[in-house]
């Protein structure tokens, strides 16, 4: 896949994510999708398979009344693409870390995407 092909997949995925469109997100994912989330360098969530991803993505819809991820920088590393992300959201629930319902959340992070058969195979999120 070319850099442009990878970028189109990620931008399509992010557009669906920002629109709270789980079905749209799934269109860009390989059946064997792997997802990992790291906070402060520690693995906090991990799942495998499209069905598990769909379940988690649908559950996560309740967490934010609005959300937006924006890609601000792209770095190709071999077959993967590392993307610096700006994240903004409005919390729809109280979170265990002290964030309250209605609170505006903003942070920067990065996501590493891996690919197979013109789909996203793995997503590693770091914040």
Count of structural domains, the chain: 1
Predicted local distance difference test score (pLDDT) of residue 42: 94
- 104-116 and 119-126 strand pairing: antiparallel
**Residue-wise pLDDT tens digits, 21-61:** 999 999 999 999 999 999 989 999 999 999 999 999 999 99
Instruction: Please state, in angstroms and rounded to a whole number, the distance separating the CA atoms of residues 80 and 73.
Output: 14
Nearest to 52 by CA among 123, 113, 117: 123
Q: What is the CATH number of the domain that holds 16?
A: 3.10.450.50
Tell me the pLDDT band of 118, cut-offs 50, 70 and 90. very high
**Residue-wise pLDDT tens digits, 13-30:** 999 999 999 999 999 999
**Model's pTM, two decimal places?**
0.92
Q: Residue 39: which domain range?
A: 3-126
How long, in residues, is the chain? 127
């Amino acid at each position: 896949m070319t850099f442009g092909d990878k970028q189109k997949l990620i931008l399509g995925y992010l557009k669906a994510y920002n629109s709270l469109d789980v079905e749209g997100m799934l269109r860009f994912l390989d059946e064997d999708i792997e997802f990992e989330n790291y906070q402060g360098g520690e693995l906090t969530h991990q799942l495998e398979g499209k069905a598990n991803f769909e379940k988690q993505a649908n559950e996560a819809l309740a967490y934010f009344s609005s959300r937006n991820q924006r890609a601000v920088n792209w770095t190709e590393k071999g077959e993967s693409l590392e993307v610096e992300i700006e994240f903004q959201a409005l919390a729809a629930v109280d979170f265990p870390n002290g964030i309250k319902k209605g609170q505006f959340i903003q942070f920067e992070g990065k996501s590493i995407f891996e690919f197979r058969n013109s789909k996203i195979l793995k997503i590693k999120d770091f914040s």
